[in-house]
Amino acid sequence: MKKILVTGATGQLGSELSVLAPAYPQYEWLFANRNKATLDDLELLRSQLEEINPDIVFNCGAYTAVDKAESEKDLAFRINKEAVELIAKYAVENNVQLIHLSTDYVFDGSSSVALNEDAETNPINVYGESKLAGEVACIKQNPESIIIRTSWVYSKFGNNFVKTMQRLMQEREELNVVNDQIGSPTYAADLAQAMMNIIEYPKWIPGIYHYSNEGEISWYEFALNIKEFGNYNCKVVGIPSSSYSTPAKRPNFSLLDKSKIKSVYNLDVPHFKDSLKKVFI
């Protein structure tokens, strides 16, 4: 029986994979939180990997505090680059299949067309820099890896835009939401299923892939959809990102082109509205 190790097990994607796991009893699942896969302690992480001895690794763990990363660069790079490098090296040495998760933040947001896997990377914040460094290290150490870049992740678990909006729309009469950052949300449950489809696919085809739900929207439009599905009375006002200052810059355009993952792995990608509804059921 093959053993799947999931790092970042208590995060959004890790939590959705744990929901999905019972549907795949042919695998032995090990969900590793920070104590079982300690991404900020490389010596410990190496011994943990040897002890777990996985056949497949879903590296969902990451440093994701985008604004905090501006002042915690060393920690962000240790987790998002050095730990990834170590995992990729372990994977290639032990014939382990590795799926590593990355982000739309490797791009600068200057595009006006959906970004494919060959689009030029140029991160504009420390978090994006650290994730890009992780991608480069992963491919260098282990060209047989699969890297999935995703964007605007949300689920019923953890902290995310949807849950924040649900809370604030019940607490406030009016909300300001940025209307000039364009992309597409990703329902973590859909991404988890896509990862399992890849593992179950007859052929392992390494490389970088993009995955988010279908559709092109701004955060403001996303908030309007949340308001509609939740039947909230809160007024939602669109504002430019220049009116909402954050320590880290965000890309203004990060819509991902999913053509490659759909064709290579024969994946069906749901529209964001269809997936968003599921959070309200």
**Residues assigned a catalytic role:** 127
Neighbours of 259 (CB within 10 A): 13
Question: Tokens 């729309």 map to which residue?
Answer: 169
Nearest 5°: phi and psi at 164?
A: -65, -45
Q: What would the DSSP string read from start to end of 68-110?
A: GGGT-HHHHHIIIIIHHHHHHHHHHHTT-EEEEEEEGGGS-S-
Characterize 44-65 residue by residue with b for buried, 16 or more Cβ atoms within 10 angstroms of its Cβ, and e for exposed: ebeebbeeeebebbbbbbbbbe
Q: Hunting for tokens 């970042």 — which residue is that?
A: 8
DSSP code, position 115: B
The one-letter amino acid at 106? V
* CA end-to-end distance (rounded Å), the chain: 35
What residues form DSSP beta bridges with 58? 6, 99
